[in-house]
Amino acid sequence: MRTNKDKLVMISVQGTIVRPEHSGRHSVSHDGKPFMLPGTGGITYNVKVGDCAFGWEADHVEPGVSTILDQDKRDSGPNRGYNFYACIGNEARVVSGDAKGAKGVVTGHHGGAEHVLIDFPDEVLEKLTLDDKILIKSFGQGLKFLDYPDVYVYNIDPNLLEKLSIEEKDGKLYMPVVAVVPSFLMGSGIGSTSMGTGDYDIMTADKKTLKKYGLDKLRFGDIVYIQDHDNTFGRCYRKGAATIGVVIHSDCKYAGHGPGVTTIMSCAMPKIKPVIDPDANIAKILKIGRYRE
């Protein structure tokens, strides 16, 4: 499969670990129940890519290490730049503190919070502190399929893309995915035009529908096919379109929310086809998180 990988630039971006925030007050779930639980940010020791995205006593929990450039200026240009440049599969390296020199892998970016998520081995997590800085060799934005100009690629390291076992047949790309998500289940994040940052959510209030489509056991890192969704220039419904994404954060209790999906590929026409593969998970492919050797 031909790409423009040799024309991409690799640029350093650097962030720090997010300090978890909380109001200390109850929130209200989609079914009217109050809850007060851990959420985003920090160093999450026991939740990793490869784990189930459901069942945690948390809301929007992020696996591994949550990072940001400036926690007090989430909407600033430099913060947006940090989120944009970091691509799934990029190498991340600790550049301060006791874990200095340790390497990890970017696993997604979370919209709203504007966090970049990174997986590190357990021995590195034990050495990290909230004051540590992490440098990412950003590489991937601008990636294109030279023979498929209608298929747009975002937020993925080309070296990871090459490991996804995509097949070309009859002018279409056949993509291994864990599950197919029907268009009507996509919620928070629809309408965003920021395709190079953030994510959008699979709504999970209807448990029977989730089970019907085999989505109730999605894992962090799972690659999914979103049916009839066009993410080429913004997130919208379009019959026949297709979007490929990676599950990056956990289920959520708020109405319109659920596991977050970072876009890695989209086409407004039916040129991407799903091939169900339970092993289509970036943790398995990269041997990180729960599948680290």
Residue-wise pLDDT for 238-268, tens only, equals: 999 999 999 999 999 999 999 999 999 999 9
pLDDT tens by residue, 24-63 = 999 999 999 999 999 999 999 999 999 999 999 999 999 9
In this prediction, what percent of the chain has a pLDDT beyond 90? 92
Q: Is 25 exposed, middle or buried (0-12, 13-18, 19+ CB in 10 A)?
A: exposed
> In the structure encoding, which two tokens stand for residue 60, read together?
């929007």
For residue 1, pLDDT beyond 90: no
Instruction: Kindly report the average pLDDT of the chain as a whole number.
Output: 96
Predicted local distance difference test score (pLDDT) of residue 78: 87
Give bridge partners of residue 222 from the DSSP assignment. Answer: 281
Q: How confident is the model at residue 108 (pLDDT cuts 50, 70, 90)?
A: very high
Give bridge partners of residue 103 from the DSSP assignment. Answer: 93
pLDDT tens by residue, 139-198 = 999 999 999 999 999 999 999 999 999 999 999 999 999 999 999 999 999 999 989 999
Through-space distance between the first and last CA atoms of the chain, rounded to whole angstroms? 29
Residues 194 and 253: beta-carbon distance below 8 Å: no
Domains recognised in the chain with CATH numbers: 5-138 (2.40.10.170), 151-284 (2.102.30.10)
Say how far apart CA 62 and CA 172 lie, in whole Å. 34
Q: Is 149 exposed, middle or buried (0-12, 13-18, 19+ CB in 10 A)?
A: exposed
Residues 119 and 46: beta-carbon distance below 8 Å: no
Torsion angle of the four alpha carbons 272, 276, 282, 287, in this order, in degrees rounded to the nearest 10: -140
Give the list of residues 6+ apart from residue 184 with CB closer than 8 angstroms, or none: none
Half-sphere exposure of 148 (CA within 13 A, CB side): 26
In 3D, which of 246, 253, 293 has the Cα closest to residue 49? Answer: 246
